[in-house]
């Protein structure tokens, strides 16, 4: 395993954990800094055997993440993510989440219904809570049915800031204000 540190972002460091898989680099984890731990600390704790390294493809992903966090409209290809490390249900959730366009949000329940099981909202939330590829799969675009933010690996302040950068408005109670949820 290798790590690629992205040091200068508005949200603190981000670390990509990656490896060559069948002659192609794949991202296994995107570690976000959060209020209680930096991405560097998380990388050291969970991937202490990983060594600094990069290649052209990973450099492109790192630059795109930096641009994304600066508020630019960036879409990531899922080809760079090691999806085969995720269970099939999580893969389906992550693909549905990845399909939500910039400036739109959906709910855990609507994603579950889109996947064919209206009762799987909690399972969708759990799949997103353990999303190994935050930002590549923009899981900040899923919220609770009442418009409350729900969880996010980078913390609620980062989730709200990312949504605001995409043009999502919030009411005085901190709930998203959208005319229509994606997958409605």
CA distance 163 to 59: 25
- Burial letters 164-175, b for 16+ CB under 10 A, else e: ebbebeeeeeee
139 is annotated as an active-site residue: yes
Of the residues 39, 61, 139, 149, only one is catalytic, namely: 139
Q: What distances in angstroms separate CA 117 from CA 55, 88, 109, 125, one per listed residue?
A: 40, 15, 9, 13
Q: What distances in angstroms separate CA 99 from CA 11, 62, 136, one per listed residue?
A: 24, 21, 11
- Burial letters 128-157, b for 16+ CB under 10 A, else e: beebbbbbbbbbbbbbbeebebbebbbbbe
Residue numbers annotated as active site = 139
């Amino acid at each position: 395993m290798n790590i690629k540190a992205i040091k200068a972002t508005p949200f603190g460091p981000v670390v990509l954990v990656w490896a060559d898989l069948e002659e192609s680099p794949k991202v296994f984890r995107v570690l976000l800094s959060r209020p209680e731990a930096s991405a560097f600390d998380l990388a050291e704790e969970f991937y202490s055997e990983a060594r600094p390294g990069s290649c052209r493809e990973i450099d492109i992903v790192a630059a795109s993440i930096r641009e994304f966090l600066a508020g630019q409209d960036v879409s990531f290809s899922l080809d760079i993510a090691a999806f085969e490390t995720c269970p099939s249900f999580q893969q389906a959730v992550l693909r549905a989440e990845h399909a939500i366009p910039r400036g739109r949000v959906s709910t855990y329940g609507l994603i579950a219904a889109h996947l064919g099981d209206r009762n799987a909202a909690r399972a969708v939330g759990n799949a997103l809570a353990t999303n190994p590829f935050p930002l590549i799969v923009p899981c900040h675009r899923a919220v609770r049915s009442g418009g409350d933010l729900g969880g996010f690996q980078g913390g609620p302040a980062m989730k709200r800031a990312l949504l605001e950068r995409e043009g999502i408005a919030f009411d005085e109670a901190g709930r998203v204000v959208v005319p229509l949820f994606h997958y409605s």
